[in-house]
Amino acid sequence: MSSLSRRDLLKAAPAAALPLLAGRLRGDDPPADPAFPGLTVRMYEPQNLEFPLSALKSWLTPNEQFYVRSHFAEPAVDPKTWRLTVEGEVEKKVELTLEDLRGMPAVTRPTTLECAGNNRAFVVPAVAGVPWGPGAVSNAEWTGVPLAAVLEMAKIKPGAVEVILVGADVGTVTGSPGAIHFDRSLPLEKARKPEVLLAYKMNGEDLSAAHGAPVRAVVGGWYGVASVKWLTRLVVTAKPHAGFWQTTDYSIYRRRNGLPEVAPITTMQPKAAIARPALHEAVPAGKPYKVFGAAWAGEAKVARVEVSTDGGKTWDAATLTGEDRPFCWRTWEYAWKVPAEKGRAKLLARATDADGATQPEKRDPDRRNYMINHLVPVEVIVR
Ligand SMILES: Nc1nc2c(c(=O)[nH]1)N[C@H]1C(S)=C(S)[C@@H](COP(=O)(O)O)O[C@H]1N2
Ligand SMILES: [Mo]
């Protein structure tokens, strides 16, 4: 029922029905649809919309709930005239239509994308950038062609090192040299891996405009910024690309001989996110509560998730559940015996990957305003 018709109905409700409605918001029961509720607006235009993590219900995020992170207005790309070019350090310049691409052998792989700015709202003191809560992360099944197959067609020249992925979207941002496209490079070593796709379908549906129609890159294991949407050009280079989106933006400091130098953001860091309880959720005292969430670790597998319900003093193993696929988040749960005493409780979760890397307790300033995976407690009300 639309809100309009519901309002009309309320207006028309007989007086006798009104006492029933008083004192609470009378809506329909929440729909059973896993895409309910919708996205949280962090910025209306360009669109920056957050997945409501506390409504996590399924390993695959429904398309309607998949977070959106766009730096410019959605470009109008006509799939009929759309072309993808492969240029630069190649023996043979390639130009593909959407039909060409769809005619190539397709693969379908689930992949989790997380924005490098996810959790930014939890950084103290506050930093610049879209103030994401915990939900700038989602998992979908992508269908397309391996980037490697398209690079192969163009025959890369010896000595080439990177491929720049260029989006059709364009605009001016603070510090940019006028109007620029969104672009990101991948070292050819990563670009040729099977987890890097040129995708035209998301969870079995044609890619939507918000997610990069008609074709986007999906770079498994790397922060979402590498997964360029509205892809139009692949430029193979003999030198590493030092573009705006991997130096001024989406870069961190890496120390060499103790001296910080600018480096592009690449792999997702281990993180366990608590979906429920949500921040300041009221949990019933003395009852069991199923704490649950998702954890991911970029190119590595999640080895374990631990939970603390006493603000980090003691830790207990959570149970990894559901699908276990590379480059994807893993759901987890933990049976919490909520104390009988009313008050507050501080919950934490931390992930450790198969290489032994774990989440830091404190924020590392070398990461600027990106790669936010230090531990942040979820405080709840026990009552
Ligand atoms: N062309 C283009 N590609 C882009 C972006 C963009 O603004 N323009 N945003 C990037 C960032 S920072 C992220 S986190 C992901 C988000 O993908 P989604 O909107 O499908 O969730 O897209 C990446 N690809
Ligand atoms: Mo991002």
- Tens-digit pLDDT profile for residues 2-36: 343 444 434 444 444 444 555 555 666 778 888 99
The yes-or-no verdict on residue 269 having pLDDT over 80 is: yes
Q: Is the CB of 228 under 6 A from ligand 1?
A: yes
Average pLDDT over residues 234-253: 98
Tally of residues, the chain: 383
Centroid of ligand 1 to alpha carbon of 73 (angstroms): 12
Average pLDDT over residues 359-381: 97
The predicted structure's pLDDT at residue 12: 42
For residue range 30-54, list pLDDT tens digits in order.
788 889 999 999 999 999 999 999 9
For residue range 190-207, list pLDDT tens digits in order.
999 999 999 999 999 999
Cβ 124 vs Cβ 366: under 8 Å: no
Please name the residue whose Cα sits nearest to atom 23 of ligand 1.
225
Please name the residue whose Cα sits nearest to atom 12 of ligand 1.
225
The predicted structure's pLDDT at residue 9: 38
Q: Is the pTM of this model over 0.85?
A: yes
The predicted structure's pLDDT at residue 30: 76
pLDDT category of residue 275 using cuts at 50, 70 and 90: very high
Integer Cα distance of 184 and 54 in angstroms: 31
> Phi-psi category of 34—alpha, beta or left, where left has phi over 0 and alpha has psi -120 to 50?
alpha
Residue type, 276: R
Report every protein residue that has its C-beta within 5 angstroms of ion ligand 2: 69, 115, 224-225
Residue of 48, 69, 250 best suited for mutating to test ligand 1, as the one with most atoms within 8 Å of CB: 69
Integer Cα distance of 27 and 15 in angstroms: 18
C-alpha pair distances (Å), 31 with each of 39, 74, 349: 15, 30, 29
Average pLDDT over residues 88-112: 98
The predicted structure's pLDDT at residue 1: 34
The C-alpha angle 124, 127, 128, rounded to 5 degrees, equals 160
C-alpha pair distances (Å), 73 with each of 186, 212, 369: 24, 11, 23
Please provide the DSSP assignment of 229-266 as one string: SSEEEEEEESS----GGGTTSSEEEEEETTEEEEEE--
